[in-house]
Amino acid sequence: MHLKEFISRILLGKVVSRLLSAEFIKFNIVGGVGVLVNMAAFHLFYNLLTIHHMVSGALATELAIINNFILNDLWTFRGREVKMGVWMRLIIFHASRLLGMAVTLATLYILSDILGLDVLFSYLISIALGVLANFYTSDVYVWARQPSK
């Protein structure tokens, strides 16, 4: 086996192990809860408080992001010795969601507009890649582990 193949297998093994980890499963459960929070908040703001749908969407999204941060902090990545304090993690978490959105939208554009695939199928694949980007940034940057001593 060549060194390049050996390194590729090790890296692939690490990626697969992270995708099968308890943290990745918890991260996705938190994401599902976030969708419910987002929809409930949108209903509250738009239907009950009669706030414009765009403002309602922005407020609901912000609540879902904060909800997901708190749940990930308390449950998904609980017990990690992290490098940063909670406020810095919250700021980086917010910023990193923009990367997830960029990955989702870029993938949607490539699959549907350039390759001509069905829009809903393209969006499903796009969401999956956005989730991977969000998990990566959360795992590696937001809840980055303290260096071993």
CA dist 112 and 19 (Å) reads 26
Whole-Å CA distances, 109 to 19, 100, 112, 116, 122: 25, 14, 5, 9, 8
Angle at 55 between CA 59 and CA 60, to 5 degrees: 25
Higher-pLDDT residue of 146, 60: 60
Token output for 58: 């922005």
CA contacts within 13 A on the Cβ side of 31: 16
Q: What is the pLDDT of residue 45?
A: 93
CA dihedral angle for residue 35, residue 38, residue 43, residue 46, rounded to 10 degrees: -140
pLDDT, tens digit (0-9, with 9 covering 90-100), for 14-40? 667 777 788 989 999 999 999 999 899
Amino acid residing at 2: H
pLDDT at 7 over 60: no
- What's the pLDDT tens digit per position in 70-82? 999 999 999 888 8
| DSSP H or E segment with residue 2 | none
- The per-residue pLDDT for range 91-135, each reduced to its tens digit, is 999 999 989 889 988 998 999 999 999 988 988 898 889 899 999
The answer to whether the predicted template modeling score (pTM) of the entire model surpasses 0.75 is yes
Nearest to 76 by CA among 147, 145, 143: 143
